Amino acid sequence: MTMYMASPAREGKKLNDVIFQAGAKVQAAIAAYGKERVVNGTLGAFADDEGNVACIPTVETLFRSMDMRDFICYAPPVGLPAYRDAVLKAAFADQRPDAYVAAVASAGGTGAVHMAIANYSDVGDYVLTTDWRWDAYGALCSEIGRNLTTFPLFDDTRHFHVAALEKKVSELCRQQDSLLLILNTPAHNPTGFALSEADWDAVLAIACKEAAQGKRISILVDIAYIDYAGEKNDVRRFMKKFSSLPDKVFVMLAFSMSKGYTMYGQRAGALVGISANTSVIDEFNDVVLYSARAAWSNINRGAMTLLTTIQNDAALCRQFEAERHAFYETIRRRAAVFMTEAKECQLAALPYQSGFFISIPAKNSALVCDKLADSLIFAGPLAMGVRFAVCSVSERKMKGVASAMKQAFIAA
C-alpha cells in the first residue's frame, strides 16, 4: 500500500529538472556511440575542447596547496570577514556605487537568491522576474511560500521590454506593499542577453516612481555569469547607478563563485546589499545572518579562503583573470560559430551577447530536442524554447549545430 508521510503542504513538490534529464540522455548516447560523436549542449559548466569540465589553473593550484584546516574548520555564518571584503572587491571591481554596502556569505548564488527572497518578499506575495529565466527561481519562491510571476524579457524588436516591466510592477504594487524584482544580467541564462545602461535607467526610474508612492522595492541582480560578459569594468558600469537611490529602493547582488571561479560544486557565493541608508544595511546584516544560520549555518571555508587569496594579491589576481579571460574568449568563439551559422540558415536565435547559453524560441522544445538528438546533438528543452550551452561544446563540434537545429525545428 502506498504510504504518504510528508506533510500535505508538500503535495505536488516534485522537481521536473529537464536539464538534468537531458544530461542523462547525453550519458546514454556517449555510452552507445562514444564521446567523439556526441555534442553535449546541455552542460551548464565551461568544458574544454574534449568536453571535460575545466578548472581555472590558478584555482586548482591554490586549492590543492591549501592547509587542511582551511577545509575542515567552521566559519562564521556571515562568512569570514576577509571573504566578505573580497566579495565586495570581486563583485564591484572599480564600479562600487556611492552607497553603504555589505556582503554576507551564501551557499552559492542559489543561496544568495534564497536569502533575498526570504527577507525581501512576504509570504504569499509575488516575486517578479523575466519570462526567459533560470528555472530554479520558481522552486526557490514556492519552497518558502512566494509566487513567481513574470514579464516578457523582449519586446517585438527584441529589446528589453521596459513597458511590460512598468505595467507589471504597477499592477503588483497595487496588490502588495513591497516588491522583489529579480534580474539576471549580464550574460543572462538562458539567452545571453544583458540590460543596457538605458535599460537600467528605465528600471531604476520605475522603482523610484513606486518608492515615491511609499512602496518598498528591492531589486536582486543575479550576476552569476558576469565574469564571462566582457571587460570587467565595462560590464559592471551599471552598478554605479546604484549610488544615492531613495531609501525605499534596495539593490542586492547575487554573487557566485560557481562559474567565475569554476567552483560549481564548492557552493560558495554571497548576497551583497546596497543602500543609501546605513540602517537598511544594518538590518540587511541582521536578517541575512539569521537566514544563513537557519539554512546552512556556514559555507565552504576553503572556497572563501581561495577568493580572499586571489583578491588580495594583485599579481595573482591578474594571472587568474588572464586565465579566466581565455575561457571567456573560447566561449565567444564557440558562440560566434553558432550565431553566424544561425543567421545563414535563418534559425531565429535570440540576441546573444555573452555567457554560457544561447536560446531559440520554440513552442514544442521537447520535440525539437528529440529530433535534434537523432543527430546526436543534445540541447536543453525549456518551457519557452531550446537552450544550447555554448560553454561546453568545442568550436569544431559547434560547426553544423545551428543547421541541424534548423532541420530539427522543421521536422518537429
What is the contact surface with ligand PLP in residues (CB under 6 A)?
Answer: 44, 108-110, 134, 184, 189, 222, 224, 256, 258, 264, 269
Other CB atoms within a 10 A radius of the CB of residue 69 amount to 10
Shortest separation between residue 109's beta carbon and ligand PLP, angstroms: 3
Looking at beta carbons only, is 262 or 365 nearer to ligand PLP? Answer: 262
Shortest separation between residue 32's beta carbon and ligand PLP, angstroms: 28
Distance in angstroms (rounded) separating the CA atoms of residues 194 and 199: 9
Looking at beta carbons only, is 134 or 409 nearer to ligand PLP? Answer: 134
Distance in angstroms (rounded) separating the CA atoms of residues 218 and 96: 18
Looking at beta carbons only, is 45 or 367 nearer to ligand PLP? Answer: 45
User: Residue for cell digits 537611490?
Assistant: 245
Distance in angstroms (rounded) separating the CA atoms of residues 175 and 255: 30
Shortest separation between residue 110's beta carbon and ligand PLP, angstroms: 3
In contact, 224 and 212? CB cutoff 8 Å: no
Sign of the torsion formed by the C-alpha atoms of 170, 172, 173 and 178: negative
Shortest separation between residue 111's beta carbon and ligand PLP, angstroms: 7
Other CB atoms within a 10 A radius of the CB of residue 277 amount to 15
Distance in angstroms (rounded) separating the CA atoms of residues 362 and 347: 11
First-to-last CA distance in the chain? 41
Kindly calculate the radius of gyration of the chain based on its CA atoms and give it in whole angstroms: 21
Q: What is the DSSP letter of 317?
A: H
Distance in angstroms (rounded) separating the CA atoms of residues 229 and 219: 20
Other CB atoms within a 10 A radius of the CB of residue 19 amount to 18
Looking at beta carbons only, is 300 or 311 nearer to ligand PLP? Answer: 300
Looking at beta carbons only, is 211 or 300 nearer to ligand PLP? Answer: 300
Looking at beta carbons only, is 88 or 280 nearer to ligand PLP? Answer: 88
Looking at beta carbons only, is 334 or 387 nearer to ligand PLP? Answer: 387
Shortest separation between residue 119's beta carbon and ligand PLP, angstroms: 17
Here the cell at position 192 is 545571453
Distance in angstroms (rounded) separating the CA atoms of residues 337 and 159: 23
Instruction: Select the residue whose beta carbon is closest to ligand PLP and give its number.
Output: 108
Looking at beta carbons only, is 168 or 387 nearer to ligand PLP? Answer: 387
Looking at beta carbons only, is 256 or 298 nearer to ligand PLP? Answer: 256
Distance in angstroms (rounded) separating the CA atoms of residues 153 and 194: 10
Looking at beta carbons only, is 75 or 245 nearer to ligand PLP? Answer: 75
Distance in angstroms (rounded) separating the CA atoms of residues 87 and 108: 12
Inter-CA distances, 315 with 39, 234, 312, Å: 37, 21, 9
In contact, 42 and 22? CB cutoff 8 Å: yes
Shortest separation between residue 174's beta carbon and ligand PLP, angstroms: 29
Shortest separation between residue 387's beta carbon and ligand PLP, angstroms: 11
Q: At a CB cut-off of 8 Å and minimum separation 6, what does 336 contact? A: none
Q: Measuring CA to CA, which residue among 152, 235, 140, 153 is closest to residue 180?
A: 140
Looking at beta carbons only, is 130 or 347 nearer to ligand PLP? Answer: 130
Shortest separation between residue 181's beta carbon and ligand PLP, angstroms: 15
Shortest separation between residue 219's beta carbon and ligand PLP, angstroms: 15
Shortest separation between residue 107's beta carbon and ligand PLP, angstroms: 7
Shortest separation between residue 91's beta carbon and ligand PLP, angstroms: 13
Cis peptide before 381 (omega within 30 of 0): no
